[in-house]
Amino acid sequence: MATQNCSKCVMLVTLLVTILFVHPTFSTSRGSLNHHQISQGGFRITLRHVDSGKNLTKLERVQHGINRGHSRLQRLNAMVLASSTTEDSSQVEAPVHAGNGEYLMELSIGTPPISYPAVLDTGSDLIWTQCEPCSQCYKQPTPIFDPKKSSTFSKLSCSSNLCNALPSPTCSNNGCNYVYSYGDYSMTQGILGSETFTFGDDKKNQVSVKNIGFGCGEDNEGKGFEQASGLVGLGRGPLSLVSQLQEQEFSYCLTSMDDTKQSVLLLGSLPNVNATKQVTTPLITNPLQPSFYYISLEGISVGDTKLSIEQSTFEVSDDGSGGVIIDSGTTITYIEENAFDSLKKEFTSQTKLPVDKSGSTGLDVCFSLPSGKTEVEIPKLVFHFKGGDLELPGENYMIADSSLGVACLAMGASNGMSIFGNIQQQNILVNHDLQKETITFIPTQCNKL
């Protein structure tokens, strides 16, 4: 491809060796914040990446995320498969849910409030924490919550709406019991309770909400939760935090994975952001998986070439399979295998660098960096959503590591469901409007929110 057409199809990228990531000389414009407070009724929560504070390169952080993401992708697909093949409703099992995640949020529970870090998960609904008396609990960073020491704790009855919203509740004299499985042998089970939850970054702006239903887990098993004391589901189902708060809007803004500043979750109204570009696309509901945030992806372009992808590739099938979900808990974007093969072929042909075939990174598409060169050209990458085109800045899809001498595409192939991951969402305010049933992408410098 001719370099004189660079403004249309090629992105000039500077490799900043000292911090080991790809930085474009130009990218999608970022919004500037007019004010730092969200409007009355809303509040903000600081998020931190699960690998923050660790001495890792950006590529190493991505590799850790890929290891977590493979299991998560399998769980998500297994959940769809389970829902589409269940024929005998008398054989009820706890369905497979997406567990773990990439970001942690701080909140407090009870009266007096006890602070604990929780995994943020847009791929599941239940809010839960480990509770005393604990028959089996994993090691967590904070003391285990003891409901007997809180004056606002109560057990929810079997007739409560939230109990009926559980996948497979059981009843006892103690109230509503739950079992919630995450598909990789991770699970939590215990009593469904009601408590006061406190949110907010500082005491002046904290908000306390009474009667939040949550799982008080007395038996919690599996890997992936050790950095947190529980999980907060932000899915579309009735058990999730956004549903219980009856918020019609929430958004998050994820800083670059190697940024020292933290990301943010906004519940309620948005901050005013001046954005020269934003893309709004409809949310799709999958009747077999109503909790997931399915988005309307129609195609992908590499440079000025729109890939030849079957129209049905990114659509939800009648059996509930396929489709594209947006997920904060998956690191890289996974594209249906045939579409990814087309992307890989076109991206490789347009990138004037030797292909790295060592397989040392865990990523499918890598290139050898020229010795001593600080700038390389890579093709632009555009996701065509119904409602608009989202052009990704270079750092949202190319990861470079000078010690290995490679630059890699932060995407992979999937079999069935596609996932728009959090690397691709960096420095974009992602607004979920549950009333309008839309997702809006607003390019934003997240570390200034």
pLDDT at 3: 39
Element (H, E) at 238: none
Alpha helices in 214-259 (DSSP H): 241-245
* Cβ-contact 99, 222 below 8 angstroms: yes
User: Which of 70-74, 96-100, 381-385 is predicted with the least confidence, judged by mean pLDDT?
Assistant: 96-100
Q: Tell me the backbone φ, ψ of residue 340, rounded to 5 degrees.
A: -65, -40
| pLDDT single digits (tens) 363-413 | 899 999 888 666 788 999 999 999 999 999 999 999 888 888 889 999 999
- The residue ranking higher by pLDDT, 8 or 400, is 400
- Catalytic residue from among 121, 125, 258, 356: 121
Catalytic site includes residue 121: yes
| pLDDT single digits (tens) 269-320 | 666 676 678 999 999 999 888 889 999 999 999 999 999 999 899 999 988 8
For the residues 88-92, what does the mean pLDDT come to? 32
Quick one: what percent of the chain has pLDDT higher than 70? 78
pLDDT at 226: 65
| List of domains in the chain | 96-246 (2.40.70.10), 279-448 (2.40.70.10)
Task: Give dist(CA 372, CA 370) in Å, integer.
Answer: 6
* Cβ-contact 300, 384 below 8 angstroms: yes
- Catalytic residue from among 51, 125, 258, 327: 327
Residue 80 in this model has a pLDDT that exceeds 90: no
pLDDT at 35: 25
* Cβ-contact 264, 46 below 8 angstroms: yes
Catalytic site includes residue 258: no
Structure tokens at 189: 């089970």
For the residues 224-249, what does the mean pLDDT come to? 87
Amino acid in position 176: C
